[in-house]
Structure 1
Amino acid sequence: MTRRRGRTPEPPPPAGTDGAPRPPLADADGRRAFSDARTFSGVCHGTLGELFQGPLRFAGRPEIALVSFPVDRHAWRHFTTDPTAAPGPLPPGERSALAAEIFLRHHHLTMPPGRWHAHSELAVGVGMASSTADVVATLRCLFRVFDLPYDRRLVLDTLSRVERADSVFLEEFALYLSGAHRVVRRLGSAVGFHTVYLVEPALVDTHAVTPRLTAHYRRHEAPYADCLRDMLEAFEAGDPAAVARASTTSATLSQQVLPKRDFETLLDHRAEFGADGIFVAHTGSVLGYLFTRRPSPALKGELSAFFHSLGHQCSFARTGYG
């Protein structure tokens, strides 16, 4: 930075990648001195459960594999600098706070004085990856606060130290090991769907049902292997209708171990509405129809009446990336 000479003002700091001035460098204590209030944000999409969840043997170990189903619903974390606030604030939420502490220790940094704010469109405890999205949004916000390049490896390492996770940190489909935090195969971003879905009132504790799931997977390895093969081939071919059929198979297998009250009714009426398939949150309470084409307003009305007759207000959402 240019040294002051007389009354000549210092030039502004260099712009960051987003064109905004970069905050000054950290001081000896790892703090950054923000001269005025600025707001930084991190955003992460959630899911409507999974297109596939089942067993996969990887590196000689049985693992739970997912093909998460991304939805255009999001979690936000905002941080606004405030010189009058106490330094070192952590974000709301136990897991987000832990992720922030891991990030700060990794970079030898301390939060400047300021305030965190959180907002989310993702329901908690129903299978929409709300917790993982909160953590990823927090980390993305921190990269911006400290003007650091985004490091997906650090995000993945942090998630592995916080919780089982979905692959919401990616911007494409993937076959992902939720416990081992390993991307087995990237499946691209060519496939997308229109969905109508409901959320049943029951909340599911993922950790509590894991032993029941793994026992179920051991008894049904062959049909899950067939389903996963069909799913991967469908993604390879870029065939959303085939992806929807494999999703229906995975949802039907899940019904044997963590049943959804309205699943059979939706399955029985699928052809009536011309839906291409069914999806569920395998360890949650979300379920609905997959459409490869946008439903017409008339069809949306029929679907809404049908879901209302089951005692639910339905929601429509764009999912995937294609």
Structure 2
Amino acid sequence: MTAAPQTSLAPTPVPRTTTVSGVCNGTLGELFQGPVTHRGRPGIGLVSFPVDRYAWAHFSPGPDDDPSPELAKAAAAVRLFCAHHGVRLPPGRWSRHSELDVGVGMASSTADIVATLRCLFALFGLPYDAAAVRAVLTGIERADSVFLDEFALYLSDRHEVVEPLGTRIGFHTCFVVEPGSIDTTAVTPLLLEHYRHRADSYRRCLDGMLAAFRRSDPVGVARAASTSAALSQEVLPKARYDAIVAHRREFGADGVFVAHTGRVIGYLFTQRLGRRRMDELSAFFHGLGHQCSFAWGGYGGA
């Protein structure tokens, strides 16, 4: 599916003449990734884990003759947006910045695209339209649900929301990024075979996670995330998974999470970490050969 040209008779929006920006958060992988059957069709379902790290896109109108973003996917997003809304990008210059690591499961590519689209909505004075964003993403890549600004069970291969899960859950996290990267397209056949083999386990895991979200139970969500991480370990293992799981109770973590097709792994905490505990976690991960990071993931909570 590609974004169709807009057929509205409304006048063409006039672009702004000052610099405008768009911002989108990335993720720390997923709280769940696995098989989901929706409307009678199987798909790959995600509950992405948004994080307070961001990608920015800026557009400054000016004399530049070729106002095309440097990144190919961002440039594709501009073309699809302009076709959908029946507008033309004025002369100007794009710039970007990102706090997200590339190729490790932080949704850096999707965040770049969504930041670009939000910048375009601001440039042309148009209201943000999640459906239009989803249509553009469909024309570019499989994507996370970072454009929604809430948790959701989302079919990444079909760009479809199965169930919105709200903004009531949030976690303090301590995580590391292991070396290397994973080609999601290349490992998809391996994942699908694993999903078929462990379908019942994934179904129970997802049922538990959705039930926990519905009752606003972060501990239950963390428990289900740990199960999803364990299932992922069977097919795309993380090198430090066993050590991290073995020390979870020692650090008082409520769960373990991973980027299922990435390199992120860490702890979920429902309560804010004290300074001493942060020191202890830092020493633990340093002993494993990694520099850890702390971040807020999700929306509501402590």
Name the TM-score class by shorter chain.
Answer: over 0.9
CA contact (8 A) 1:92 1:118 kept: no
| Aligned CA distance change for structure 1 residues 247 and 32 (closer, same or farther; 3 Å) | closer
What 5-or-longer segments of structure 1 have no aligned partner?
1-24
Q: After superposition, where does 1:1-322 map in structure 2 within 5 Å?
A: 32=15, 34=17, 38-82=18-62, 84-86=63-65, 88-322=66-300
Q: SS at 2:182's partner residue?
A: coil
More relative contact order, 1 or 2 (CA 8 Å, 6+ apart): 2
Distance in 2 (alpha carbons) for counterparts of 1:172 and 1:112: 32
**8 A Cα contact 1:31 1:110, kept in partner:** no
Aligned length: 290
Structure 2 unmatched runs, 5+ = 1-10
User: Quick one: which amino acid aligns to residue 237 of structure 1?
Assistant: R
Q: Displacement of 1:226 after TM fit?
A: 0.2
User: By how many angstroms is 1:186 displaced?
Assistant: 0.6
CA RMSD of superposed structures (Å): 1.3
Counterpart position of 1:18: none
Q: C-alpha deviations, 1:50-83, integer Å up to 9, x for none? A: 000000112222100000000000000000011x
User: Share of identical aligned residues, percent?
Assistant: 59
The structural deviation recorded for 1:113 is 1.1
Measure the CA separation in 2 of the matches of 1:318 and 1:300: 14
Q: What amino acid is the match of 1:60? A: G
Q: 2 CA distance for matches of 1:258 and 1:244?
A: 20
Q: How far has the Cα of 1:31 moved from its partner?
A: 7.6
**SS across alignment from 1:62:** strand
Residue pair 1:67, 1:176 contacting (<8 A) in 2 also: yes
Q: Please give the alpha-carbon distance, in whole angstroms, between the structure 2 residues aligned to 1:32 and 1:291.
A: 44
Q: Which whole-Å CA distance do the structure 2 matches of 1:117 and 1:261 have between them?
A: 36
**Over 2 Å off, 4+ runs:** 30-34
Larger radius of gyration: 1
Residue pair 1:175, 1:186 contacting (<8 A) in 2 also: yes
- Distance of 1:230 and 1:33 partners within structure 2: 47
For residue 109 of structure 1, report the CA deviation from its aligned partner: 1.7
Which amino acid is the alignment partner of residue 56 of structure 1?
Answer: V
Query: Aligned with 2:221: secondary structure?
Result: helix
| 1:168-223 deviation line (CA, Å, top 9, x unaligned) | 00111100000010000011111100000000011011111111000100000000
Contact 1:33 1:112 in 2 (8 A): no
CA distance in 2, matches of 1:263, 1:288: 9
Deviations 1:30-62 (A, max 9, x none): 98584xxx1100000000000000001122221
How far is 1:92 from its partner?
2.2
- State the TM-score, normalized to the length of structure 1: 0.88
Distance 2:126 2:263 in 1: 37
